[in-house]
């Protein structure tokens, strides 16, 4: 699979990563190389093989639906780049 | 006091118990050692005050007869473990200024058992790399580099991603260090720097509070200078944690007690597919040497087949980036770390992540985003998960014929910073021997086995059945004894 510049720009947007225009060509080359490498998996017969969901042979544990922790908004917010009155502040989304 | 930094953990525990020195003296010697190895760039954050404070508390506990299993032992912590009140960077620009309000379960366990923190050590950004050359905080230089610090004729890599951990332990600045292993990030740097590193079975060590890379693969483990020390430290790190839904609820054995030296009758699997094309002669030689050592100790080598070995790397480079792209979605400039403003919310996200992530991390997030995107999910991601199942089945079958598997750890000795950097696939090949066991969730350890023709360390890898770290450690110690005292790197603290 070979990726073109436009596809890389689209993936970058989906991933919310700004990639400078001048890096797109180089990146397209590298990503295509990786995709070509992983395409060898098509040689493997995977008919009736279940996709792995968990490497450990155990069922997901369930816990009681109850509050066991919390009540420290200050701690939660302590690393926020911009906070006010117990909230994170982000650029205006709705006009 | 110069000798204190050359002790093993077991030796230091003895010395502390016999009152030959105090935990404060041991910590002071290591704080000086940490300063002395600054040219290696192994530490991102040094915490000397905390080390001395913890050592003082350790001496008090010991005087009261309340010493824990690692009481007073100074260690380094990979900067991927969240440590309360101490900056945690994951070696990324995007986590600038982040000081966790909580402590990872693994480090909590270590402090509970009395260990002393020297600081946070360097790594590849978000643990993505095999050479410790992708850190925002700069490359780590291996203490094995020829020449003098500042005047090295070649700057060698310590391996990665736990490169700072490996360099600090090998250069005698810490008795041990925590590492994390996603595709070989404990075992490969251990091999490159001549130390011991073990990745336990997936689920043994809690992932809670460890910055996530690929959640179905990430596993913490110890990096030490001897197998016995690995057993001591692993026991403290392991244990059930209700806060990690993949943590396994089973008792933690006394790993040190498993080191009986008796491996008579044990069947050692030698996978024929690991004799890869173009394998350097010295790697084959050291592998054969390992087989001979185990035979001499009474074990029986058996040839086994792991037919899907050649597909492991390709599987890994779909599964790991897919999980990474999802895990790293949380770095958006809102809750912690770097924020780069933009005209709106979306642009702020894009600017923050564009500026905050380095090249390798960006590349992997993009691959992950692509293989998970509509139209490609089945062709790439689901296919890789199916091949992963077949790789696991290969191991299940192999362990019907043998008790432990012996392979080389890495396909070469350490290379120089700058080599192999242009070609991502070439760099990924470093992990060719370690990745299959990661995909299968198996315990794996690298033990120093000798030096290559270039005078640099080479490790042998042992893989075990799920939750059978005891056999891995027992066999590992037999190799360690047969290989003799490992050489010291040219630069030590």
Give yes or no for A36 touching B (CB within 8 A).
no
Instruction: Provide the domain limits for residue B125.
Output: 2-266+402-483
Q: Give me the catalytic one of B92, B104, B161, B438.
A: B161
Tokens for B283, please give them. Answer: 């790697």
Q: Quick check: B2 pLDDT over 80?
A: no
| The residue to which tokens 């005292």 are assigned | B485
pLDDT tens track for B12-40: 999 999 999 999 999 999 999 999 999 99
State how far Cα A42 lies from the chain centre: 25
Give yes or no for B337 touching A (CB within 8 A).
yes
Q: Using the CB atoms, write b or e for A15-25: b if 16+ within 10 Å.
A: bbbbbeeeebe
A79 vs B351: CB contact, 8 Å cut-off? no
Option in A18, A35, A43 nearest B351 (CB): A18
Domain assignment present for B395? no
B336 vs A75: CB contact, 8 Å cut-off? no
A41 vs B387: CB contact, 8 Å cut-off? yes
Option in A37, A46, A79 nearest B314 (CB): A37
pLDDT tens track for B392-444: 999 999 999 999 999 999 999 999 998 877 777 777 888 999 999 999 999 99
CA-based angle B279:B281:B286, to the nearest 5?
100
Q: Torsions phi, psi of B181, nearest 5?
A: -130, 120
Residues 6+ apart with CB under 8 A from B455: none
Domain assignment present for B298? no
B243 in catalytic set: no
Q: Residue B312's pLDDT is what?
A: 97
pLDDT tens track for B182-233: 999 999 999 999 999 999 999 999 999 999 999 999 999 999 999 999 999 9
Domain boundaries, chain A: 5-43
Neighbour-count burial of A57, counting CB atoms closer than 10 A to its CB (0-12 exposed, 13-18 middle, 19+ buried): exposed
Q: Please choose, from the candidates B78, B81, B76, B326, the residue with its C-alpha nearest in 3D space to the C-alpha of residue B210.
A: B81
State how far Cα B169 lies from the chain centre: 12
Residues 5-24, chain A: which have Cβ within 8 Å of B? 8, 11-20
pLDDT tens track for B135-166: 999 999 999 999 999 899 999 999 999 999 99
Q: How far are the Cα atoms of A41, A75, B342 from residue A68, in angstroms, in the given order?
A: 45, 16, 38
Cβ-based contacts of B423 with chain A (< 8 Å): 33
Locate the chain B residue with the closest alpha carbon to A23: B359
B161 in catalytic set: yes
> In angstroms, rounded to a whole number, what is the distance separating the alpha carbons of residues B137 and B322?
25
Indicate the DSSP class of residue B439. Answer: H
Domain assignment present for B312? no
Residues 6+ apart with CB under 8 A from A79: B97, B98, B99, B100, B101, B335, B336, B337
Tokens for B39, please give them. Answer: 């040219």
Residues 6+ apart with CB under 8 A from B118: B27, B30, B31, B34, B43, B46, B47, B48, B51, B74, B75, B76, B168, B173, B174
> In angstroms, rounded to a whole number, what is the distance separating the alpha carbons of residues B98 and B79?
12
Q: Residue B279's pLDDT is what?
A: 83
Interface test with B, best of A3, A45, A51 (most B CBs within 10 A): A51
Domain assignment present for B382? no
> In angstroms, rounded to a whole number, what is the distance separating the alpha carbons of residues B436 and B426?
17
B336 vs A80: CB contact, 8 Å cut-off? yes
CA-based angle B69:B73:B78, to the nearest 5?
105
pLDDT tens track for B293-346: 999 999 999 999 999 999 999 999 999 999 999 999 999 999 999 999 999 999
Q: Residue B423's pLDDT is what?
A: 74
Indicate the DSSP class of residue B328. Answer: G
Interface confidence, given as ipTM, is: 0.95
Indicate the DSSP class of residue B210. Answer: B
A60 vs B245: CB contact, 8 Å cut-off? yes
B366 vs A15: CB contact, 8 Å cut-off? yes
Cβ-based contacts of A72 with chain B (< 8 Å): 101
pLDDT-based confidence at A4, cuts 50/70/90? very high
Domain assignment present for B306? no
Q: How far are the Cα atoms of B31, B58, B385 from residue B12, in angstroms, in the given order?
A: 16, 13, 45
pLDDT tens track for B466-487: 999 999 999 999 999 999 998 9
Q: Residue B1's pLDDT is what?
A: 40
Q: What is the share, in percent, of chain A residues with pLDDT greater than 90?
A: 78
Cβ-based contacts of B250 with chain A (< 8 Å): none
CATH number of the CATH domain containing B114: 3.90.1300.10
Half-sphere exposure of B466 (CA within 13 A, CB side): 17
Threshold 0.95, pTM exceeds: yes
A18 vs B338: CB contact, 8 Å cut-off? no
Domain assignment present for B140? yes
Q: Residue A54's pLDDT is what?
A: 87
> In angstroms, rounded to a whole number, what is the distance separating the alpha carbons of residues B345 and B354?
14
Q: Are A66 and A73 in contact (CB under 8 A)?
A: no
B78 in catalytic set: yes
pLDDT tens track for A13-56: 999 999 999 999 999 999 999 999 999 999 999 999 999 988 88
| The residue to which tokens 């699979």 are assigned | A1
Q: Are B37 and B173 in contact (CB under 8 A)?
A: yes
CA-based angle B294:B297:B300, to the nearest 5?
55
CATH architecture of structural domain A5-43: Orthogonal Bundle (1.10)
Cβ-based contacts of A16 with chain B (< 8 Å): 329, 332, 346, 349-350, 353
**Mean pLDDT across chain B, nearest whole number?**
96
Option in B249, B353, B370 nearest A16 (CB): B353
> In angstroms, rounded to a whole number, what is the distance separating the alpha carbons of residues B460 and B482?
12
Residues 384-423, chain B: which have Cβ within 8 Å of A? 384-390, 392, 423
Q: Please choose, from the candidates B416, B329, B410, the residue with its C-alpha nearest in 3D space to the C-alpha of residue B372.
A: B329
Cβ-based contacts of B466 with chain A (< 8 Å): 56-57
Domain assignment present for B492? no
Q: Please choose, from the candidates B73, B27, B70, the residue with its C-alpha nearest in 3D space to the C-alpha of residue B46.
A: B27
Q: Are B133 and B158 in contact (CB under 8 A)?
A: no
Q: Quick check: B61 pLDDT over 50?
A: yes
More confident residue, B420 or A10: A10
Q: Please choose, from the candidates B341, B300, B290, B253, the residue with its C-alpha nearest in 3D space to the C-alpha of residue B445.
A: B290
Option in B317, B362, B441 nearest A56 (CB): B441
Cβ-based contacts of B346 with chain A (< 8 Å): 16
Q: Residue A63's pLDDT is what?
A: 84
Domain assignment present for B371? no
Q: Give me the catalytic one of B135, B162, B185, B325.
A: B185
Q: Residue B278's pLDDT is what?
A: 78
Interhelix angle A5-14/B359-372, nearest 10 degrees: 90
Interface test with A, best of B209, B370, B376 (most A CBs within 10 A): B370
A81 vs B99: CB contact, 8 Å cut-off? no
For chain A, counts of helices (H) and of strands (E): 3, 2
Q: Using the CB atoms, write b or e for B75-93: b if 16+ within 10 Å.
A: bbbbbbbbbeebbbbbbbb
- Number of domains observed in the structure of chain B: 1
pLDDT tens track for A47-88: 999 999 888 877 888 888 999 889 999 999 999 999 999 999
3-state SS assignment for residue B186: coil
Tokens for B369, please give them. Answer: 């985003």
């Amino acid at each position: 699979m070979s990726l073109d510049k436009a596809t890389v720009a689209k993936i970058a947007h989906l991933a919310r990563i700004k990639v400078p225009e001048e890096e797109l060509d180089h990146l397209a080359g590298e990503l295509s190389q990786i995709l070509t490498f992983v395409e060898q998996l098509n040689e493997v017969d995977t008919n009736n093989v279940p996709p792995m969901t968990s490497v450990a042979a155990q069922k997901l544990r369930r816990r009681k639906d109850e509050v066991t922790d919390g009540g420290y908004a200050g701690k939660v917010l302590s690393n926020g780049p911009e906070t006010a009155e117990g909230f994170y502040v982000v650029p205006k989304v709705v006009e | 006091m110069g000798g204190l930094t050359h002790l093993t953990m077991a030796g230091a525990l003895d010395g502390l118990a016999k009152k030959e020195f105090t935990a404060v003296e041991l910590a002071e010697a290591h704080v000086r050692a940490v300063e002395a190895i600054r040219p290696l760039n192994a530490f991102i954050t040094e915490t000397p005050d905390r080390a001395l404070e913890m050592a003082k508390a350790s001496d008090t506990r010991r005087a009261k007869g309340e010493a824990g299993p690692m009481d007073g032992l100074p260690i380094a912590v990979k900067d991927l473990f969240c440590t309360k009140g101490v900056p945690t960077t994951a070696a990324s620009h995007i986590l600038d200024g982040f000081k966790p309000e909580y402590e990872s379960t693994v480090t909590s366990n270590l402090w509970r058992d009395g260990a002393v923190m020297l600081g946070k050590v360097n790594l590849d950004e978000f643990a993505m790399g095999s050479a410790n050359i992708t850190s925002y905080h700069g490359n780590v230089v291996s203490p094995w580099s020829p020449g003098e610090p500042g005047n090295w004729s070649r700057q060698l890599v310590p391996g990665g991603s736990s490169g700072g951990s490996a360099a600090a332990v090998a250069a005698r600045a810490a008795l041990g260090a925590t590492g994390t292993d996603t595709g070989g990030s404990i075992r490969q740097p251990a091999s490159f720097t001549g130390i011991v590193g073990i990745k336990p079975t997936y689920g043994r060590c809690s992932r809670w509070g460890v910055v996530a890379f690929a959640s179905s693969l990430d596993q913490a483990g110890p990096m030490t200078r001897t197998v016995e020390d690995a057993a001591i430290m692993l026991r403290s790190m392991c244990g059930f944690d209700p806060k990690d839904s993949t943590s396994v609820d089973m008792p933690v054995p006394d790993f040190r007690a498993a080191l009986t030296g008796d491996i008579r009758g044990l069947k050692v699997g030698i996978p024929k597919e690991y004799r890869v094309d173009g394998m350097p002669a010295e790697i084959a030689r050291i592998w054969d040497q390992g087989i001979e050592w185990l035979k001499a100790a009474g074990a029986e080598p058996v040839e086994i087949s792991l037919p899907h070995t050649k597909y492991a790397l390709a599987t890994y480079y779909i599964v790991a980036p897919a999980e990474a792209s999802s895990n790293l979605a949380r770095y958006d400039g809102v809750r912690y770390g770097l924020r780069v403003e933009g005209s709106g919310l979306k642009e702020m996200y894009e600017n923050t992540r564009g500026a905050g992530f380095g090249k390798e991390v960006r590349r992997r997030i993009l691959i992950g985003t692509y293989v998970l995107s509509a139209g490609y999910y089945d062709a790439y991601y689901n296919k890789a998960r199916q091949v992963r199942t077949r790789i696991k089945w290969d191991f299940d079958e192999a362990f019907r014929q043998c008790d432990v598997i012996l392979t080389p750890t890495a396909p070469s000795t350490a290379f120089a910073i700058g080599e192999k950097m242009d070609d991502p696939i070439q760099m990924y090949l470093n992990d060719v021997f370690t990745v299959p066991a990661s995909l299968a969730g198996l315990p794996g350890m690298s033990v120093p086995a000798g030096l290559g023709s270039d005078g640099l360390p080479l490790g042998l890898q042992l893989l075990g059945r799920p939750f059978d770290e005891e056999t891995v450690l027992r066999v590992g110690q037999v190799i360690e004894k047969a290989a003799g005292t490992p050489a010291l790197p040219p630069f030590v603290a």
